[in-house]
Structure 1
Amino acid sequence: MRVSLTAAALVLAILAPASSFAGPVESACNASGREQASRQLCRCIDSVARHTLTRSEQRRAARFFRDPDEAQRVRMSGTRADNEFWQNYRAFGREAERVCAGH
């Protein structure tokens, strides 16, 4: 019985649509309600985030979609951790703009 449940779970994982595996940035982008936030664009931005940000940085960046003022607070923060994150976030933003411009 355990083998068949594992096999069934594997089949579901393979056949499930890619959106069910959306990362935090894609999910936040899709939920943002912004007019220009198409599924294709959000998926592209998330793909760039997966390659340029750590998982915790992705979750942190995703919060900016819900609370844009949080981005300003992080940008203005003087802590070393916030400054390092902001550098990574800016690099992510530049790369996402370059890669996803046509979406």
Structure 2
Amino acid sequence: MKKIVLLATLVVISFPFFAATADANTIKRACMKSDRAGVNSALCGCIQKAADATLTRRDQQLASKFFADPHMSQEVRQSDRESHEIFWQKYKNFGQTAQAYCGY
């Protein structure tokens, strides 16, 4: 019985860690799936690091969609929604950071 309680406690304690890492590498995965020339794991990993430094997980989820649908980025950029304007400023910073850090 003690082993079951201990195991259950470990699972409950560990769950937030696993939940937080479950959607990690959102940008890297989207980058690797894209059909752009020069895509490789090292470059996409570098871009993910820039995203981790500049974008929230929620921002990364939105930005990852741009790899499959570049037109969506223009829709967000031209949107009148305040949340999109705030996101776009962070996204521009992400792009500049990725370019400086990854040299693409």
Moved >3 Å (runs of 4+): none
Matching residue of 1:69 = 71
8 Å CA contact 1:30, 1:37 repeated in 2:
yes
Matching residue within 90, 93, 98 for 1:91: 93
8 Å CA contact 1:25, 1:45 repeated in 2:
yes
Q: What is the TM-score normalised by the length of structure 2? A: 0.76
Matching residue of 2:58 = 56
8 Å CA contact 1:75, 1:82 repeated in 2:
yes
- Distance in 2 (CA, whole Å) between partners of 1:37 and 1:75 is 24
Larger Rg: 2
- Distance in 1 (CA, whole Å) between partners of 2:42 and 2:102 is 9
User: How well do the aligned residues superpose, as a CA RMSD in angstroms?
Assistant: 2.4
Displacement of 1:22: 5.4
Aligned residues: 90
| Runs of 5+ consecutive residues of structure 2 not aligned to the other structure | 8-22
Query: Identical aligned pairs, as a percentage?
Result: 39
Displacement of 1:87: 0.2
Give per-residue Cα distances to partners, 1:13-65, cap 9 Å, x unaligned: xxxxxxxx851100000000212111100000001101110000001000000
| Runs of 5+ consecutive residues of structure 1 not aligned to the other structure | 6-20
Q: What is the TM-score normalised by the length of structure 1? A: 0.77
